[in-house]
């Protein structure tokens, strides 16, 4: 029974390692937020283009509607 309790304990994370891990997670979350914000902005801008401008880039209104219907966090 004594060996069993030792194997179930989680390793202790010391201050610097823990702080580094939190920093990595926060940076990743911030990057995801920035990417999602950029997608949202680009989709709104795409929705504002007129039919002539859309034809110039090879898109239709239907393509734009499909893209704008996606959630901001989705690619």
pLDDT tens per residue across span 6-61: 554 555 556 667 777 888 999 999 999 999 999 999 999 999 999 999 999 999 99
pLDDT for the residue numbered 75: 76
pLDDT for the residue numbered 28: 94
Residue from 31, 54, 36 nearest 66 by CA: 54
Q: Supply φ then ψ for residue 48, to 5 degrees.
A: -85, -10
Residue from 73, 64, 60 nearest 45 by CA: 64
CB under 8 Å to 21, separation ≥6 — which residues?
A: 13
State yes or no: pLDDT of 62 exceeds 60.
Answer: yes
- Taking the alpha carbons of 62, 68, 71, 75 in that order, is the dihedral positive or negative? positive
pLDDT for the residue numbered 72: 82
């Amino acid at each position: 029974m004594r060996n069993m309790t030792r194997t179930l304990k989680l390793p202790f994370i010391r201050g610097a390692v823990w702080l580094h891990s939190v920093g990595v997670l926060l940076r990743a979350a911030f990057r995801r937020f920035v990417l999602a914000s950029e997608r949202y902005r680009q989709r709104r801008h795409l929705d504002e283009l007129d039919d002539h401008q859309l034809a110039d880039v090879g898109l239709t209104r239907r393509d734009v509607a499909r893209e704008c219907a996606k959630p901001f966090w989705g690619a």
